[in-house]
A and B are shown apart, each in its own frame.
Chain A
Amino acid sequence: MINLLLFPVLIPFLFAAVLLLFPKKVKAQRIVTMIGLLFALASSFVLLYKVKVDGVQALTLGSWAPPFGITMVSDMFSAMLVTSSLLIAFFVVWYSFSSIGEAREKAFYYPAILFMLTGVNGAFTTGDIFNMFVFFEVLLMSSYVLIVLGGEKVQLKESIKYIIVNIVSSSLFVITVGYLYSVVGTLNMADISVKLAEIGPSGIVTVIAVLFLIVFGIKGGIFPLFFWLPGSYAAPPIPVIALFGALLTKVGVYAIMRTYTLFFTTDVGYTHTLLMILSILTIVVGCIGALAYFDVKQIIIYNIVIAVGVILFGASVMNESGMMGSVFYLIHDILIKGALFLLIGIIIKITGTSDLRKMGGLMKRYPMLGWVYLVVAFGLAGIPPLSGFIGKLLIVQGGFEGDLLWQSIFILASSLIVLLSVIRIFIYAFWGEEKGEHLISDKKYRHLLAPAITLATITVLYGVGAEYLVPFMGDATNVLLDPSLYIDAVFEGVK
């Protein structure tokens, strides 16, 4: 099954194409989407097993020799990201059934989600830098549709900003690829890595590295480039925010981690120090934002920014514990941000507002929601048996090993602020006197809670079962720290 690594990309694509044919039949749309996601999920688990047993999988399309055709590469890192993105999409779609509303479901909502998954999984799997640009556009185009679908006033206003920012960053991506092509004369990522190692430290390569940081930093929301994120992410309905918050910024983070471990390893003193400083500043602004708002959506959105900073800090240290921590934390963050958004979506549905000051006393009527939210909030902050702990522990350990004492202590301090920001939601929404009326029927509440609880359970299992995941994370870290494994897999049987 040499084409196995294409299945998580192709299956959502084919199902999305089929879904375009009958937009008005909502039941059929739902069933076909679920079937498609289950197939894709199954194939991604098989891929995960295959990568675990046989090492990095590479496939050059059309039987061309590697640097000349488009290569798709699946190492453990990308296979795990593909699996978690499909997992999160499964729960978001399940949640959408009782949340998104029939009008949107009839307007190509499910095909847009599946096309976005095609782009996300393609960007995780590709081994060609221009092909990565194309997959970025696939996922961005679908995200434009998802962010504006429904056409409310606030969505129209915010989606214009989102689109303009992304047009500019896509142009910058193409410009950077053009510069890189004029330096190395190739687009295959493994081949670029070989050629850049031959060139060695050089001014222009460092410039290109910083340009890539700007391009992917705009997508990922790092410090000076995150300005578009809080406004745009607050506009669409909750399932769409959950999908965006869990996946879209992570694609930018993945691209930074991939390029900074595979391409730009010759002038680490400059590029990775820059990445480290920016990631710390990202955590600072994220913490400020997370404490500043009384709006539940904004609090979680700024928590996305904090997490991006933490992951990139771990990656910038470039030692084994730091990198492994980043991989752990990246997957954890995809799952937990999805769970958090689904849970606060229920809170917003119940109270009809996202303003904390207008909520209160939900614990009496919705104890299950309260306790699950509390567990997920502890998981986000990194309380030991839960999922955020092991990743942050390894990142901090990597920081100490890399002699970054103050920065590591800072990461620990930021956990406190994360905890404070999410516990504020708990205190305001669940404690105190009951305020306002409850706008949701019991049946709908149960339908919304089921996917959220299942996802929350998975995050708990991810934390409790961390020991079983260590071999997988170890494989991912090995490939990131030793690019020759990646390069050899691509050029297998050619050189």
Chain B
Amino acid sequence: MEILMSILIGFLFMAAVYLILSRSLLRIIIGTGLLSHGTHLLLLTMGGLGGKSAPVLADGITDYADPLPQALILTAIVISFGVTAFSLVLAYRAYKVVGTDNMDLMKGNEDND
């Protein structure tokens, strides 16, 4: 199971890198979204996919999934959610002010616009 997950995560990273290297700003943000999905799945996989039961204490169950990676993922999800929301609004503002979403045209300072 871990092998399968690793391959899937590898594909997510591949797609994320491809999108981040593209020119359009929105594609880049979609790329960062895929990157954080891959990261979170990787945390889950690296903690081990063993354990039969969800980490909630109950009578008669001894084999729980590792609760720590789940807490880490939950933290990382809300953080990346906040950052993604910020970067989306920033992309919107930049599109309004600069007038383009093409990263190639977002070079230089005020002098050589």
Which residues of the other chain, A, contact B113 by a CB distance below 8 angstroms? 153
Q: Does A171 contact B (CB under 8 A)?
A: yes
Known: A164-B32, A167-B35, A182-B47. A156 touches B20 (CB 8 A): no
| A164 pairs with B98, CB closer than 8 A | no
A159 to chain B minimum Cβ distance, whole angstroms, is 7
| A168 pairs with B109, CB closer than 8 A | no
Q: Contact check: which of B45, B68, B87, B110 meets A187 at CB < 8 Å? A: B68
Cα distance A160–B87 in the bound complex, in angstroms: 7
Q: What are the interface flags for B22-54 relative to A under an 8 Å C-beta threshold, 1 for contact and 0 otherwise?
A: 000100100010011011101101111000000
Cα distance A130–B106 in the bound complex, in angstroms: 34
Known: A157-B94, A164-B20. A175 touches B110 (CB 8 A): no
Chain B residue with the shortest CB-CB distance to A172: B39
Which residues of the other chain, B, contact A170 by a CB distance below 8 angstroms? 79-80, 83
| A174 pairs with B106, CB closer than 8 A | no
Q: What are the interface flags for A298-322 relative to B under an 8 Å C-beta threshold, 1 for contact and 0 otherwise?
A: 0000000000000000000000000
| B46 pairs with A137, CB closer than 8 A | no
Give the secondary structure class of A's interface.
helix
| B79 pairs with A134, CB closer than 8 A | yes
| B87 pairs with A163, CB closer than 8 A | yes
A65 to chain B minimum Cβ distance, whole angstroms, is 15
Chain A residue with the shortest CB-CB distance to B106: A157
B37 to chain A minimum Cβ distance, whole angstroms, is 10
Q: Does B1 contact A (CB under 8 A)?
A: no
Give the secondary structure class of B's interface.
helix
Cα distance A161–B43 in the bound complex, in angstroms: 26
| B36 pairs with A148, CB closer than 8 A | no
Which residues of the other chain, A, contact B80 by a CB distance below 8 angstroms? 167, 170-171
Give the interface size class of chain B: 35 or more
Cα distance A420–B109 in the bound complex, in angstroms: 26
Q: Contact check: which of B76, B90, B97 meets A174 at CB < 8 Å? A: B76
Instruction: Kindly identify, within residues 76 to 109 of chain B, every residue whose CB is under 8 Å from any CB belonging to chain A.
Output: 76, 79-80, 82-83, 86-87, 90-91, 93-94, 97-98, 103, 106-107, 109
B35 to chain A minimum Cβ distance, whole angstroms, is 5
| A141 pairs with B86, CB closer than 8 A | yes
Known: A148-B90, A154-B110. A137 touches B32 (CB 8 A): no
Known: A154-B110, A164-B28. A144 touches B86 (CB 8 A): yes
| A159 pairs with B47, CB closer than 8 A | no
Cα distance A219–B26 in the bound complex, in angstroms: 24
Which residues of the other chain, A, contact B79 by a CB distance below 8 angstroms? 134, 137, 170
Instruction: Kindly identify, within residues 54 to 83 of chain B, every residue whose CB is under 8 Å from any CB belonging to chain A.
Output: 68-69, 72, 75-76, 79-80, 82-83
Q: List 29 A-B contacts (CB under 8 A).
A: A130-B75, A133-B76, A141-B83, A141-B86, A144-B86, A151-B97, A153-B98, A153-B110, A156-B90, A157-B107, A159-B90, A160-B90, A160-B91, A161-B106, A163-B87, A164-B32, A167-B35, A167-B36, A167-B83, A168-B35, A174-B72, A175-B39, A175-B42, A178-B42, A178-B46, A178-B47, A181-B43, A181-B46, A182-B48
Query: Which B residues fall within an 8 A CB radius of A?
Result: 20, 25, 28, 32, 35-36, 38-40, 42-43, 45-48, 68-69, 72, 75-76, 79-80, 82-83, 86-87, 90-91, 93-94, 97-98, 103, 106-107, 109-110, 113
